[in-house]
Amino acid sequence: MNAERQDRGLLRVNEEECKGCGLCVEACPPKAIAMGERMNHYGYRTAMYKGSGCTACGICFLVCPEPGAITVLRTVKRMVAALQTETGVAACASN
């Protein structure tokens, strides 16, 4: 069975904060991060999310020396849908 696996997270790299050290690329278990070809205003090649494969583990965020350069968002769609089905209650938008 060759089912397509859905990402558990989404990674955002702030290109203006990234200094191109590559620590996140080396630390990413699913190898969902690569060094891009574009340069930021400091003249650094920055890290970029490949577009899929993020598990939302947060290791890239933890190893990054630049505050605000990496944001990891965890996807909760399946959990909310399961709770709605199980309880019969719609999820609150503020939670």
Mean pLDDT by 10 residues, the chain (95 residues): 65 94 96 94 93 93 95 75 58 48
The overall longest dimension of the chain from CA atoms, in Å, is: 53
% residues pLDDT > 90 (the chain): 60
Q: Tell me the whole-structure pTM to 2 decimals.
A: 0.71
Q: Which residues contact 64 (CB under 8 A, 6 or more apart)?
A: 23, 24, 70
Fold of 9-87: Alpha-Beta Plaits (3.30.70)
